Amino acid sequence: MTHAYHESRHVQYCSKVKIFLERWWIRFGLGPLIVAAPAGLVSLYMSDEKGPHEFAAHFIPSSLETVLHAHPVIAYGFPFAWIYLCTLLYGLIDTLAKKKKLDIDSLVFLHRLLETIVESKAHRFGDYAKQLRGKTRPANQIFNQITQPEQQIALQVQGIHSFFSYLYPDVGIRVGLASIENDIPTEWFYWVPENKPPHTPIESLQSEHSTLVTCLRRRDMMIVEDTQAEARKENGGCFIHTREGVKDAECSLICYPVIDGYTSTISYVVNLATDRKDVLLEKNRDLYQWMFGHFALRMCLEHSLLTIKKSQRNRL
pLDDT in tens, 70-79: 887 877 888 8
315: pLDDT strictly greater than 80? no
Mean pLDDT of the chain, nearest integer: 80
CATH 3.30.450.40 positions along the chain are: 103-315
pLDDT band at 1 (very low <50, low <70, confident <90, very high): very low
pLDDT at 180: 95
pLDDT at 178: 96
pLDDT at 6: 44
Torsion of CA 237, 243, 247, 253, to 10 degrees: -50
pLDDT at 314: 61
pLDDT tens column, 165-201: 988 888 899 999 999 999 999 999 999 999 988 888 8
pLDDT at 267: 94
97: pLDDT strictly greater than 50? yes
pLDDT at 189: 94
274 CB-near residues (< 8 Å, 6+ apart):
168, 171, 172, 173, 174, 251, 252, 253, 280
Helix residue spans in the chain (DSSP H): 9-21, 24-25, 31-45, 50-57, 62-70, 72-97, 104-131, 139-146, 149-167, 211-218, 227-231, 285-315
Whole-prediction pTM: 0.64
pLDDT at 241: 55
pLDDT at 186: 94
- CATH H-level superfamily of 103-315: GAF domain (3.30.450.40)
Percent of the chain whose predicted confidence (pLDDT) is above 70: 77
**103 with 145: CB under 8 angstroms?**
no
pLDDT at 94: 73
